[in-house]
Amino acid sequence: MPRPRKSDKPAKRESPVQFRLESDLGRLVGGFAERHGLGVNEAAKSLIALCVVSLDCRYYGLVRQLADELGGSNPFVQACLRVNASMEGAAMATGRPVIPDAARPGFVLRVVEGVLTGRGKPVKTDGLWFVEGNSLPPPGEGAVPEGSEEEKTVIDRSVRKRRTIRRVDPE
C-alpha cells in the first residue's frame, strides 16, 4: 500500500496572512496596532474579523469590551460573531436585508451594553466618536472642526449635472 502524500492530507492550520510593514497596507495595519496597543498580527486578525461581519475599525473598542467579558478561546472573533448574529436576527425581524449604516453604531452599542450590563459592568464609550452623543472624531480620523470653512461648505448632489458635447467645425 502506497504511503499517503502530504498533498492528500488537509492543512493542520490556516495559512498565514503576510504583508510587509513598508507597504501601504502594512502602515495602515501598523498604525491601527499602535493606536490600540496590539501586535501587528493580532491587529490584522481583529480587522479581518470586523470586516467579515460588516463592521469597520471604528467598532474595535466596543467589540473589544465584549470580547474581554466573554473570554474563552478566540474571544474577539466570538464577540464579532455575536454582534453579527444580533444584526442578522434584527434584519430578519424587521424584514430589512441589513441594519442601515446610520443605525449600526447604536445597534452595536446596545448589543454590547446588553451583555455587559447583564454582568454588572458599564460600557466605556470614551473616544468612540461615532456613537450617538459623543464628540467629533479625533484629528486624523475624519474630524471637521465646528465652524470651520470645510464644515460650512455643502455640496448639493441631488441634482445631476448634464454634460453636453458640442461639435465644433474647424474653419
H or E, element range at 47: helix 40-52
Asked whether residue 35 is assigned to any structural domain, the reply reads: yes
**Residue found by looking up cell 451583555 in the block:** 115
Three cell numbers written together for 47: 480587522
Q: How many domains does the chain have?
A: 2
Q: Which of 5-14, 31-40, 111-120 has the lowest mean pLDDT?
A: 5-14
Burial degree of 26 (CB within 10 A; 0-12, 13-18, 19+): middle
Residues 87 and 128 in one domain: yes
Residues 39 and 64 in one domain: no
The 10s digit of each residue's pLDDT in 98-147 is 777 788 888 888 889 888 888 888 888 777 777 765 544 454 444 444 44
Residues 40 and 71 in one domain: no
Report the C-alpha gap between 129 and 144 in whole angstroms.
12
- Give the pLDDT mean for 140-167: 48
In this model, does residue 3 exceed pLDDT 60? yes
CA-wise closest residue to 17 among 57, 56, 45: 45
In this prediction, residue 143 carries a pLDDT of 42
In this prediction, residue 137 carries a pLDDT of 47
In this prediction, residue 4 carries a pLDDT of 62
Residues 79 and 115 in one domain: yes
Residues 63 and 122 in one domain: yes
Report the C-alpha gap between 131 and 100 in whole angstroms.
14
Compare 142 and 11 and report the one with higher pLDDT: 11
Residue numbers of the domain that contains 95:
56-134
The 10s digit of each residue's pLDDT in 37-88 is 999 889 999 999 999 999 989 899 999 999 999 988 899 999 999 999 999 9
pTM: 0.65
Residues 24 and 61 in one domain: no
Confidence of residue 161 (pLDDT cuts 50, 70, 90): low
